[in-house]
Structure 1
Amino acid sequence: MRLMIMFDLPVGTSENRRDYRRFRRSLIQEGFFMMQYSVYVRVCPDSKQAHSVEKRIAAITPKDGLVQSVMLTEKQYQAMHFISGEPSQDLLNSAERTVMI
């Protein structure tokens, strides 16, 4: 399962820019990677964990701007078409990654 977060946050004031940086940093700390500007994706083992992560993201979302999420199965994500550019071969983008603790 993949959780995708898409956002459009204002950066007109220094407070807006600070909120944007905090939000982006929080997404990365939650295990998301940047798919493209303002679109971040994370692999989740199941929908229960995806909902849990979504709730944590909702708690840190800045009050201004637009933040959206979508949950995709791995099959739906892999069926994505690349009209231009190349898919990332990064290990973070793989559902088969192994985390060693």
Structure 2
Amino acid sequence: MERLNQYRVLWILVFFDLPTETKKDRKAHAKFRKEIMQDGFVMFQFSIYLRHCNSRENADVHMRRVKRLLPEKGHIGILTITDRQFGDIELFIGKEITKRPDTPQQLELF
């Protein structure tokens, strides 16, 4: 088995802009958000959710799940980046620099 490293471990980012003008739209928005969170995505910013994956194969599984959950309306983007790339992120609250989210510890059983 290949050792986990900063170039093999991936982060999936899901960006979305969904309509919320009607009750049906709001329901679809809430459902999509709830379902991706049930799949392990956490909110990074208001309409940006991310998930840590230990391999490309694991990331592919979660990207397929997101694609099956896509609502009929709206704009959705899915992006994968390596842990190394994510490690270069600079985060601020106002002008104050803050630390990036911790890499979750995930146990994988084979």
Aligned to 2:66: 57
Structure number with the higher helix fraction is 1
Q: Map 1:3-42 to 2 at 5 A.
A: 3-42=12-51
Q: Distance in 1 between matches of 2:43 and 2:37?
A: 8
Number of residue pairs matched by the alignment: 96
Q: Find the residue that maps to 2:59 and give its secondary structure.
A: helix
RMSD: 1.9
Deviation at 1:88, TM superposition (A): 5.2
Deviation at 1:87, TM superposition (A): 3.4
Matched-pair contact (CA < 8 Å) for 2:89–2:100: no
Summarize the Cα distance change of 1:98–1:47 in structure 2 as closer, same or farther, 3 Å threshold: closer
State the percentage of identical aligned residues: 24
**Structure 2 unpaired stretches of 5+:** 1-9
Deviation at 1:94, TM superposition (A): 1.4
Alignment TM-score, normalising by the size of structure 2 = 0.79
**Structure 1 unpaired stretches of 5+:** none
Alignment TM-score, normalising by the size of structure 1 = 0.86
Aligned to 1:66: 75
Q: Distance in 1 between matches of 2:21 and 2:48?
A: 20
Q: Distance in 2 between matches of 1:23 and 1:45?
A: 24
Residue among 78, 83, 87 paired with 2:99:
87
Deviation at 1:12, TM superposition (A): 0.4
Structure number with the higher strand fraction is 2
The ranges of structure 1 where at least 4 consecutive aligned residues each deviate by more than 2 angstroms after the TM superposition are 86-89
